[in-house]
Structure 1
C-alpha cells in the first residue's frame, strides 16, 4: 500500500496507457469490461468494478511500460469505503482486527489450540504461519513449529495478521494498525528473527521501514536442512502466488528446495511473474466467486497440461482455493506438505467450514459474525 493514497494512479493510467490490451490476458475484470485501462481511467472506475479486480498485479507484470492498472482499482476501493459506497457490515466477518471472524469461529468450533506453543516467553526467533495456515492446517502448522524448534531455541509462535485483508477491502489505516501491533509485540519479546510461511505476510513486512531491524526470512530458508528427499515418482507443478510475482523469493527458494531433494517438477504455462491468480487475491472469492472459480479451474487445467499429477502452492489461500475443485484428478498440496513429508486432504476444508453453520446452532454461530 506504499504510495497508494499519495499517488493518483487513475491519472497515471489515463496519461500513459497505450491501450494495447496485453494486460487483459488472464484478467477477468478487463476481459469482462472489454475496455482498456486508459478508457476505464478516463471515464472513472465504478465501485463495483473496483471490487471485481483481483489486485493480483499481473497487469503490471506484463505491461511494457510498467504501469499498474490494478492500483487504480485498489485506490478506488479506499474511496468507496470513505464514500460509504460499500456496506462494510456485509464483510466484517473477514476483518482480522475483530474478535469474531470466520477463522476464529473455525478454530473454536474444531478445537484448534496452540496453547502448548510458546507465545509469551522472550526469544530471538518467532514463527508466523499466517492466518490461513494456522486456521485450516493446524497439524502442518505444529509440524513446522516443531521442526523450527530443532534449530531455534524455544521459538515464539505468533498468530498475528499482517493486515492484508484490510488493505484489500479498502481500509489501509486498520491494516497499518495490525502491522504496528505485531511489530510492537516482536520488540517487547526481544525478537530478532521472524520466520514467515505466508508470502503475503513476508512482503508486507519486508517493504516497511519499521521492520528493517528484524531479520525476516521465509520458512524455506529456515528449514532447508530439514527437508526430506523424494522417494516417489510423482510429478509436481508449482503455482506462484501473486505477492511473490515481482521479487520471486518464494518461487526461487521452493524450486531450489524441490530440485535439491530430487522431486520431479514441470512448469505450467503461466508461472513466475506471469502466474495466474488462484482466485483468492483481493478477496475475489467474496466479491466475484464465479471469477474466482474460473481462476481455480485454469490453474488446475494448466497443471494437467504440463503433465503434473500434483499441484503445489506456497500460499495457503491458494492451496485451499485449488482444493475447491474436488472433481479434479490433480492432487493439491502445500509445498511444505511435500518437503516435510506431511500429507493433508485440502478438499475437505470447504465442507468443514460449511458444516459449522448447519442447523439452528449453526445459524447462531453465523449471527455472531455480524454482531457489533
Structure 2
C-alpha cells in the first residue's frame, strides 16, 4: 500500500538495482543475534519439496511479468534460491548471497505475493509458500528496514491506520467493537482505544478491514447497520488482518495477530465472520483453521445478493458507464467478485478479461512500493488499460484496498498533470449499494498533511523508529 506521499518527486522512485547494505541505525539489532538456522532449514525444506513436486512445465512463466522478464519458471527460481543458500548458516551469509544473486533479490522484493503465477499449477504449488520464508529471511537480514515495518505495525497501538483515524476523529466507541489489545498497549499511555468496553456476545462479527474502517467510516457504519437488520446482533472489528505485516516479513507477528482476532471473536460467541475484503477473509480463514475450525466466513456481497439487493444504473450517477467489475487477487476462489457482478447485473457493463483465478494484483500487494515506486503503479495502470481496452469507464472493485489503490493512481495521475485516466472512474461496490461516495482526494490530501502539516512531529514520533 502507498501510505506516504510528500511530493511528486517521491511518488515514483527508481527501482533499486541491487540490495543495499542494511542500515544498522534502522534495523532491530536483536535480529543480528538471532539464530537463523530454523528459518534457513524451513526455507531449504520448502525448496526441496517444491523441486521434488515441480514438473517444470512452465505454466507459471507466462502468468507473471517478473518470471517472464527473466525467463524463470518456479523450478528455475527454486534452483537459484538453493544456489544462493548453499553453505549459508548466518545472516551475514544471507547478506553476501543477496549481493551475489541480485536478480533473485529483486524477484523476492518485487513479487506481490498474489500467487497468480502458480494459480493454474498442475501440481498445486504456490509461489507464496516460497515467498513467505524468503521475505522473513530478508527482514531478519535487515534488508526490509524498521522504517518500512513501522508504518504497518497493525498489532501495535500506532500505525498508519490508527494514526489517520485518530487525527481525523474516526471513532466507533458507540458501537459493539471487538477490541484486541495491541502488543504494546501496556507501554503506550496514549492508546485512544484503551478504555473500550468488552462488547456483548453475538454470533456475527463484521470485519470491514483496515481500509474501509479507516477511510470510509460512513460506509462501515451503513454496512454494519444493514447486517444487523438482516442478520441480527453483530460485533464490529476495526482491526487489520495483518497482511501488511506479512508483506514486510513479520510472519510470526501476522499469524499471531490473526489468531488473536479469531480467538477473541470465538470467546464472544461469534460463529460467523462477514468480510468485505477478500484478503481479510483469506487471512482470517487460515487463522481460524488453527484456533476456531468451525468458524464460518461469508462475503457481505453474497449476503446482500441473497437478501435480494439489486443496484440500478441510477446508483452510478457521476460515474460514466459502462462499468466493469475487477476481481481481487485474493478472490481466486470467487467468493466476492461473482456476487458483486450479480448485484450490479442491471447496470451496463463490460466483462473484465482477467477474473477469478486469473486476476492480477491491483498494485498494493507485497509492500513492493518500499523497494520500487514504479512497479506498483505499473500494475495499477494495467487494470485501467485493460478496462479502457474493453470500453469500460468505471472500474468497480469488491476489495476496498483495490479501490484505494485505483483511486490513488487516478489522484497521482491528476497531480502529475498526465490525465491518462481522466476519462475513467473507480468505486468500491458498497459506494453504489449505499449511495455514498468515498472522497479519495480528500483522504490522500489528509495523508499528505499527516506527514507535512502541524501534526507531522507527533506523527513521526509514533510511526518512525
Aligned to 2:311: 229
Question: 2:64 & 2:461 partners in 1: Cα distance?
Answer: 35
Q: Give me the TM-score of the superposition, normalised by structure 1.
A: 0.89
- Larger Rg over CA atoms: 2
Aligned to 2:279: 200
CA distances 1:23-66 after superposition (whole Å, capped 9, x unpaired): 34463432444433333321226444312111111101244544
SS in 1 for 2:349: strand
Aligned to 2:73: 36
Alignment of 1:218-367 (within 5 A): 218-224=299-305, 225=307, 227-232=309-314, 234-245=321-332, 247-259=333-345, 262-326=346-410, 327=419, 328=421, 329-359=423-453, 361-367=455-461
SS in 2 for 1:217: strand
Aligned to 1:132: 211
Closer/same/farther in 2, CA of residues 177 and 16 from structure 1, 3 Å limit: closer
**Runs (5+) with no aligned partner, structure 1:** none
**Runs (5+) with no aligned partner, structure 2:** 1-40, 85-103, 178-198, 411-418
Question: 1:161 & 1:344 partners in 2: Cα distance?
Answer: 19
Residue 166 in structure 1 maps to residue 252 in structure 2: no
SS in 2 for 1:150: helix
CA distances 1:125-160 after superposition (whole Å, capped 9, x unpaired): 221111111011111111111211212333211112
Closer/same/farther in 2, CA of residues 215 and 69 from structure 1, 3 Å limit: closer
Indicate if the aligned counterparts of 1:195 and 1:218 stay in contact, CA closer than 8 A. Answer: yes
Closer/same/farther in 2, CA of residues 182 and 299 from structure 1, 3 Å limit: same
Question: 1:64 & 1:184 partners in 2: Cα distance?
Answer: 35
Question: 1:190 & 1:69 partners in 2: Cα distance?
Answer: 36
CA RMSD of aligned residues (A): 2.5
Aligned to 1:10: 47
How much has 1:215 moved relative to structure 2?
A: 2.6
Aligned to 1:214: 295
Indicate if the aligned counterparts of 1:235 and 1:308 stay in contact, CA closer than 8 A. Answer: yes
Match of 2:224 among 124, 145, 167: 145
Question: 2:211 & 2:157 partners in 1: Cα distance?
Answer: 16
SS in 1 for 2:270: coil
Indicate if the aligned counterparts of 1:123 and 1:190 stay in contact, CA closer than 8 A. Answer: yes
Closer/same/farther in 2, CA of residues 24 and 244 from structure 1, 3 Å limit: same
How much has 1:239 moved relative to structure 2?
A: 1.2
Aligned to 2:200: 121
Indicate if the aligned counterparts of 2:151 and 2:464 stay in contact, CA closer than 8 A. Answer: yes
How much has 1:237 moved relative to structure 2?
A: 0.8
Indicate if the aligned counterparts of 1:125 and 1:192 stay in contact, CA closer than 8 A. Answer: yes
Question: 1:288 & 1:74 partners in 2: Cα distance?
Answer: 19
SS in 1 for 2:391: coil
Indicate if the aligned counterparts of 1:50 and 1:73 stay in contact, CA closer than 8 A. Answer: yes
Indicate if the aligned counterparts of 1:333 and 1:346 stay in contact, CA closer than 8 A. Answer: no
Closer/same/farther in 2, CA of residues 48 and 126 from structure 1, 3 Å limit: same
Q: Give me the TM-score of the superposition, normalised by structure 2.
A: 0.72
Residue 103 in structure 1 maps to residue 190 in structure 2: no
SS in 2 for 1:279: coil
